[in-house]
Amino acid sequence: MGILKRKFSELDEDSCCSSSSSTSCCGWDLDKQKQDMPPHSPPAPAAFPLRSILKKPKLPAAQNNVCFLQVTVYSFPRCQGFTGVPSRGGATLGMTRRHCEVQTFTIAEYTLEQRHRRREQLRERWRQEKFLEIKEKLITSGTINETGAETLTIDQVPFEEMNININSVELEGGGFLQPYSSKQRQAILLAAGVRRIDKEEKRQLHTLRLSRETCGCDCQGFCEPESCACSLAGIKCQVDRFNFPCGCSQDGCGNTQGRVEFDSRRVRTHHFHTIMRLELERRPKHETHLSKDQSAVSMVNRRG
């Protein structure tokens, strides 16, 4: 055991000596390497341009476009509305709370379907106009009296099949929606399966239309701020047509809130300009489609 202890102690001394000698050797080698190395020189400047850290990089503009893949159409049955206020008669048109049919179209299919429906609507409007013209001619010529003309229906009058010239603006919804008369609304409801039309709605609508007539101020020609009902109520005088609802003139109105007058010429001019602008916007697209079709036909002819 003593020998082993002596040997372990010798090993410890040898390891200490070896570690000290190795440390001294390593230190001498490092000093020698430092002397042999050339002096340190700063690195060359980078070839990349310097950028300010205060300037934010420009991000690519995000395209916020919405793309629709299909169109879902819900169809609702007709019913008596009790909501709208037509200018005459009753039997307003409405729809039930639950739909009866669901249809799904692609964008191209829906566009074709809308054009087809629009064409049928314009064709039906043309038949109605021709029907009224024929009735007036029959009454004027004395063929039938007014009572007999009222009993005529559009199905009893023959129409010649004619090609109606419909431009692109009309097909794409450029026209106004035409209101239905009271008899037309009743016929639509009966055709939709409404068995009984409530007559109370007609009386309610008549009362409501009369109440709407009593509006505006009672001034005639000129308004005094102290006596004008509109001025006392803090609203402007409104003139939709001559002497309705307010009877004041443009020069004689003394309403402190002002006066608003409906200008039918301005509305017609705005409508005309809008239709022309839409027509000019659609014309290049139509010409582009025609040029593509012509080029395709020419390519087919060359191959043939």
Q: What is the pLDDT of residue 28?
A: 43
Q: What is the pLDDT of residue 149?
A: 75
User: Which phi and psi (to 5°) does residue 58 adopt?
Assistant: -80, 120
* Contact (Cβ atoms closer than 8 angstroms) between residue 252 and residue 223: yes
Q: What is the pLDDT of residue 23?
A: 43
Q: Which DSSP string do the residues of the chain spell out, in sequence order?
A: -HHHHHHHHHHHHHHHHHHHHHHHHHHHHHHHHHHHSPPP-PPPPPSSPP--SSSPPPPPPP-------EEEEEE--EEE-SS---SS-S--EEE-SS-SEEEEEEHHHHHHHHHHHHHHHHHHHHHHHHHHHHHHHHHHHTSS-HHHHHH--GGGS----------HHHHTT-SPPPPPPHHHHHHHHHHTT-----THHHHHHHHHHHHHHS-S---EE---TTT-HHHHHT--EEEEETTEE-EE-TTT---TT-EEE--HHHHHHHHHHHHHHHHHHHHHHHHHHHHHHHHHHHHHHHH-
Write out pLDDT tens, residues 26-68.
Answer: 444 445 444 555 555 555 555 555 666 666 666 666 667 788 8
Tokens of 51: 């950028």
Distance CA 235, CA 245 (A): 13
Contact residues for 123 (Cβ-Cβ < 8 A; gap 6+): 164
- Give 147's Cβ-side CA count (13 Å radius): 0
pLDDT < 50 stretches in the chain? 1-9, 11-30, 32-34, 162, 169, 174, 297, 300
Distance CA 1, CA 10 (A): 14
Q: What is the pLDDT of residue 74?
A: 96
Q: What is the pLDDT of residue 259?
A: 93
Q: How far apart are the first and last CA of the chain?
A: 112
pTM over cut 0.85: no
* Contact (Cβ atoms closer than 8 angstroms) between residue 234 and residue 258: no
- Torsion over CA of 235, 238, 244 and 248, rounded to 10 degrees? 80
Write out pLDDT tens, residues 150-196.
Answer: 777 777 766 655 455 555 545 555 455 778 889 889 999 999 999 89
Distance CA 56, CA 60 (A): 12
Q: Which DSSP string do the residues of 263-304 spell out, in sequence order?
A: -HHHHHHHHHHHHHHHHHHHHHHHHHHHHHHHHHHHHHHHH-
